[in-house]
Structure 1
């Protein structure tokens, strides 16, 4: 084989590689659809694994792995549960009992349980045996036994969140509608010819119009990265191609200074393109304003500019050195660091957990609850679809967070405590490895997240008698033990316990006051454009808190890079090739956890747990009432979506415009065909919101 034939064969091989990638993506999509259909079939009262298996082209074992409730009796080992330790009646439980609609029942059951004897990932002896099915539920990790696991319960060496001793520098910013070509720079408006709306076209037009330099370009409309979306199977592929298209005079930014965010960020809807001039003197970002808030078709670049000005002015009332960074998450974390105490207990900062504990929290602490409940658990036809959205929800759960050196609480340690100590620990700042059992007469939604097939996928077991092993935060365990219907049985396998602290309280209070101020402006301002700008600014404050909390979680990083085609051998060995053209290859590779001084997944986990629990039950002290899914009749909950709840009937829940309150946001009168996919739910949601808005206007 000569060199020409060799190069031609390489080109053909790359074509086959791309076809395989597309085929695998389609196969994954089909398998996910199949698994969802199996789950719906398994909910039928007379469902049998033996009938579903041939219809799905799978083995009975594979079906049982997806739907454990279909396991034949002879596959399940008999359980020998120890005598439960029953906690004393608490005020919270007494209050919950006053609102109970169920008949009399046993008290809540919480008990220690011995962890698996050897490998920490071995399932408990009384669980359904594992199968080798590829779609079997994930087994969550836990710390190893003995000294090896105990060593996890520490902080990373010389790594802590500290108050910055510098002032962030503001960046020159413009706002561009790539559909109309309207560009707003400070108080000036320009009209650009963007030609094909490529990154090169945008950079050329903007720098020709603003010759003194721009460091950030916000796209307000047009989504230019989707311009060739019909040529690609997925939006992400179209975005990748747009970001990495040739940009004469520019190259991918390699990072600089403290804000070392080198390289493009590939995201299906809100990507970030980072470029530097060939001479290295100019650095610029192209970003989507969708990171901050959703826009209407009538929102102009000038309105968006005004929203950012109002946001900056409102934040300056609480932070004299506030600067709006590129994204809400960056801005949120920067503002938080400027609330770290300069004197007192935490003046030296907040230490970062060991990498092992951060990895454990990453694997075992999910974020928002997203669950669609389908027939037969709800009717085929709904009498209505009613949406309740918790206003500024996460701000409700920042008043208490974990601090100090984490302690390991083994099953044996937990068993040695008094009942009072056990209850106090479970209601404190902790993250617990538990075995939970759904009561035999349970007829409502699931209460605790459990690992499901797929990367970081979760579901919420609700079938009576189901036993499963998972990790959960204190707020969710509190709900499981004291809910207004029937307490669940909880067995402690292992746990992490911190001291209670308030590292986020000052930060969150300032953001809540900023949000309240801007929300009030939006309601009373006489100028419609300024009122709209204030509303957008208030949504941006929500994003700062929401994504700021998410950034504390510090997921393992995925780096995207490019390599010239002529230097293909330089692509990192552990990288996945995600695209290429005639000039360069685009790849991505995981880099694990960085030494981020502001990584605090324990704070994000605690807030997410509190928010998930509040979707189930939340007390309104001033009104002496409760709200949430568990305060609705069985069979009326259709879906959970992060901080929103979808029901079949309206509720008389109090709303005082406070963080965490349930706002009636949409009401679609029935009959409504029950949604069975997320797309169908979102379509009905949008219709319900429009219908509700029209009804309010007419009233």
Structure 2
């Protein structure tokens, strides 16, 4: 073969690659649609897997894996003698044989971000020694607030916190399939090396002031452009990136550095031509823009290149000739501006900036709430005292462990037969500004490892204190016999970083969880769960986020008050949006601490295909451009603190189940609703079949009744169905008379 033939064969290979990519995308879409249709059919009370399987062209096992409620009764019967197995019909979040996992001793699993579906495997291990938690006598209560109570106390009371007894040996566990394995900490010196900080890397108070950027607000649907106190109307027939840039810079000869799209979503205009929204966005961002090229970054703000996101992308451009840099962003990163005019959106940003300036004289609104929130936090880092040198960053190994084992908000849909096929009602309760409730305490100092043997050697007081501290625990959990309520602790489910919440009695699984959730499992108002400590990471308690959070809460309260009192409808809307933006500052600021491994997105002209990085994955292409992405791992980010994000997320998930209101002497949360009435969770919200008398005083963490759809209504079996019912419930709730809403 000569060079000419070689190059010709390469060209033909690229054509085949492009065809395969398109065919795979089409196949994935068809398979997704098929799974949704199967899930919808499973909601029919007389649906049978035997009839659906041939219609779908799948086996019975495949059908049950997609819709576990269709599992034949014989599988349930066969599972009963084994207390570890999960009855398929009672746990729709995972395939019938996938809801339990054998213990995973430390040191047997290499650190990774978790295997993908092709790497999932059954585990069968035995003989691990771990301290077990059991229910104590009433006098063993560890917290004065938690008084002894019957096994099923009424809402408003909690049983005593169970004591932690001596270690016990775990017996052999049955093997289970399709369970995602979580990493652990290696034994010996290798594991000890993890418990340190990264050298010469710490969060410190900045010694510079952020520079404000000239910003414009554009509705690409109506063509309304707002810049400072000026309003223009421009013509955007195609609303391509090139057309937006050239038209805006023609109207504003001095230019701008940031353009927020308030409505129109121009990156979705060609969505029908692509199998996925992300492909449509990538094509829009990478379309030729004469006179412009992709920005390569500058100064301290080193973000460069386009950010391909299905709904809130970021396009970063630079003049071919000159030093003009500009970003095109979606205002949806900050708040939902649906139906709001660009001038009101501008006013919202002005109100937000003024509210923040009360607490941070040098506050500057950056491109996104995560950037802005974390920048404001750095300006609360003390310059004197214990942490004058900053907050050190964990070792890369521990950051990787938190990344792989600490989930975020709880998202779960509970389908029939665990809830009625027709619901008597659908009531939505959303926790107001929830994360602000859980920032008062975070882990600081050098992390300490607590092995199973160490934990077992401690007194009950020491064990309880450790569980109330900021920590992350590797545990083996068993759902108690006779349990009839929802799951409490997250378990790894099949798929990359997927989680579910086992609730079937007798289910045993191994997972990682924060202290707040473990406390909830032990002291829930029904029956304590069995939790065995396998390993743990514990920190000293500190308040690195408290000052930052308090200032944001005050800004939020001020803007919320303005939204309720201002007589001008436009200013009321602007204040409401500004308050939502403060929420985003805290919410996404906390998410930024998690510091996920970075993925870089790039583009290469088709004529220079050999320049695509060898470790890159091609995610899109057209006749001119190849779009690719590749992982770059963890960067040396001085503000990476996944331990803080993990503790807040754990606290929020626990409060979604049980939260004490001291001033009202009562409890709220899903575990205080009757069994069988919980329909779904969505991060800070819980959906029930009946209203609850939970107090709401407008404070962070309070449960707000946001929707009430009277029944009977069909139980949702997909997320889209849930969101449709949610929107109907909110509309019905707002239309109801005020006393009924209260």
| TM above 0.5 | yes
Counterparts in 2 of 1:93-112, with a 5 A limit?
Answer: 94-95=146-147, 97=149, 100-101=153-154, 108=162, 110=164
Aligned match for 1:694, one of 728, 732, 735: 735
Q: Identify which of 434, 437, 445 aligns with 2:475.
A: 434
Other-structure match for 1:317: 358
Aligned length, in residue pairs: 673
Alignment of 1:23-102 (within 5 A): 23=26, 25-26=28-29, 29=32, 38=65, 40-42=67-69, 46=73, 48=75, 64-68=96-100, 84=132, 86=134, 88-91=140-143, 94-95=146-147, 97=149, 100-101=153-154
The answer on 1:410 being equivalent to 2:451 is yes
User: 2:377 touches 2:548 (CA, 8 Å); kept in 1?
Assistant: yes
Q: 1:128 is matched with which residue?
A: 174
Which deviates more from structure 2 when the two are superposed, residues 10-19 or residues 354-363?
10-19
- Whole-angstrom distance in 2 between the partners of 1:79 and 1:439: 21
* Contact 1:40–1:375 (8 Å) recurs in 2: no
Residue equivalent to 2:433: 392
1:193 maps onto 2:235 in alignment: yes
Q: Taking structure 1 as reference, are residues 49 and 217 closer, same or farther at Cα in structure 2, changes over 3 Å only? A: same
Is 1:509 the counterpart of 2:562? The answer is no
Question: Secondary structure of 1:97's match?
Answer: coil
Partner of 2:390: 349
Note if contact 2:164-2:460 (Cα within 8 Å) is conserved in structure 1: no
1:119 aligned partner: none
Report the alpha carbon displacement of residue 279 of structure 1 after superposing the two structures with TM. Answer: 2.0
Q: Deviations over 1:661-692 (max 9, x none)?
A: 00000000000100011110001001100110
SS in 2 for 1:585: strand
CA–CA distance in 1 between the matches of 2:426 and 2:639? 41
Name the SS for the 1:635 alignment partner: coil
- Structure 1 position 602 matched with structure 2 position 656: no
Q: 1:643–1:63: structure 2 CA closer, same or farther, 3 Å change rule?
A: closer
Q: 1:37 to 1:175 in 2, by over 3 A?
A: farther
Change beyond 3 A, Cα 1:307–1:360: same
* Stretch of structure 1 that moved more, 11-20 or 569-578: 11-20
List alignment gaps of at least 5 residues for structure 1. 57-61, 70-74, 116-123
Query: Aligned-pair distance for 1:486?
Result: 1.0
Match of 1:233 among 271, 275, 288: 275
In 1, distance between residues paired with 2:8 and 2:231? 56
Find the aligned partners of 2:550 and 2:130 in 1 and give their Cα distance.
Answer: 45
Take 2:607 and 2:168, find their aligned partners in 1: how far apart are those partners?
Answer: 58
**Poorly superposed stretches of 4+, deviation over 6 Å:** 49-52, 75-83, 102-107
- Partners of 2:165 and 2:174 in 1: CA distance: 21
| 1:166 alignment partner, one of 192, 204, 208 | 208
Which position in structure 2 is the counterpart of 1:9?
Answer: 12
Q: SS at the partner of 1:95?
A: coil
Match of 2:368 in 1: 327
User: Residues 217-275 of structure 1: CA distance to partner in whole angstroms, max 9, x if unpaired?
Assistant: 00000000000001111101100000000000001111111111111001000000000
Equivalent residue runs for 1:449-460 within 5 Å: 449-460=490-501
Does structure 2 conserve the Cα–Cα contact (< 8 Å) formed by 1:40 and 1:374?
no
Compute the displacement of 1:79 (Å).
9.0
Matches within 5 A, 1:547-586: 547-586=588-627
Deviation of the 1:110 alpha carbon: 4.0
Q: Given that residues 637 and 648 in structure 1 are in contact (C-alpha distance below 8 angstroms), is that contact kept between their aligned partners in structure 2?
A: yes
Q: CA offsets per residue over residues 408-444 of structure 1, 9 Å max, x none?
A: 0000110111111001001111000000111101110
1:359 is the counterpart of 2:400: yes
Tell whether the 8 Å contact from 2:525 to 2:671 is kept in structure 1 after alignment: yes
TM superposition shift of 1:467: 0.8
Q: Which residue of 2 aligns with 1:270?
A: 312
CA 1:312/1:36 → structure 2, altered by over 3 Å: closer, same or farther?
Answer: farther
Measured in 2, the distance between the counterparts of 1:179 and 1:474 equals: 49
SS at match of 1:469: strand
Task: Tell me, yes or no, if the aligned pair for 2:132 and 2:533 is still in contact at 8 Å.
Answer: no
TM-fit CA distance, 1:108: 3.3
In the alignment, the residues of structure 1 paired with residue 723 and residue 567 of structure 2 have an alpha-carbon distance, to the nearest angstrom, of 33
What is the deviation of 1:113?
5.6
Preserved CA contact (<8 Å) 1:435 1:470:
yes
Tell me by how many angstroms 1:370 deviates: 0.2
Under a length normalisation based on structure 2, what TM-score does the superposition of the two structures give? 0.86
The more displaced of 101-110 and 678-687 is 101-110
